[in-house]
Structure 1
């Protein structure tokens, strides 16, 4: 049978625990000693941790879960399949576009991509990347505004 050192067992356990964070993201954090049986704690070597070490482990796992929840919420902004709190997105549009019209896809520096579904905007000469704000509107619509200029373009998140 494979023998693991205490350090290897702990590393393996923490890795497995962190990969399970997405499934737990919607739930409040539950302390590791409440999730595992005494046998599981012993097998992972966690029963030998001091109370300070156990508290640190729980804090790290809780912080990781909270960070993942925030990342998941931001990642879902604008997608129809993922209903999240509607928060405006501020980013920089990549490229040297002189403007956008219906059908154009705007790629942002945060990795998001948005397609113009209504409206047209001509910016004049290309000046490189532009600051944009994409804000929610009524009935699930999203609107992109470039450098505070008008008109706003109605956009839809592209996966």
Structure 2
């Protein structure tokens, strides 16, 4: 009587755990399949940046496979603390980039989506989001283009003013 019961329990456990093991081995799913078209446009990544991000996330998934059921039941703070040491700056796209300090060619009276800024170093940056109207135009101001998370960049004319979200067009 006990053997059929044990066999039944083992079979039930195997059937319950099979989807979890298949899920853990399923691999990486591209971002385009995870997000809607609207969400992708809000992120503002170019096709090349999306391709690079997908490649990096796929490689990270291959290096660090999904946690098993036993690992998932461990305390979240313990696993989070151990994960911090494993992460490299490359996993956080953009955070290893350095700010770009330059001077604008010409003057600036404000910006809105579509405004193009040309820097003394030859780079051109186009405003994606954000708008600002200055009280008086600034003549060839010194600016800072600051990296953000996931390949985003922000143009700072003055530290006390809002930044414009920009992308490089040259």
TM-score range, shorter chain: 0.3 to 0.5
User: Taking structure 2 as the reference length, what is the TM-score of the superposition?
Assistant: 0.43
**Structure ID, larger Rg:** 2
Write 1 or 2 for the structure with the bigger share of helix.
2
Task: Give the TM-score normalised by the residue count of structure 1.
Answer: 0.46
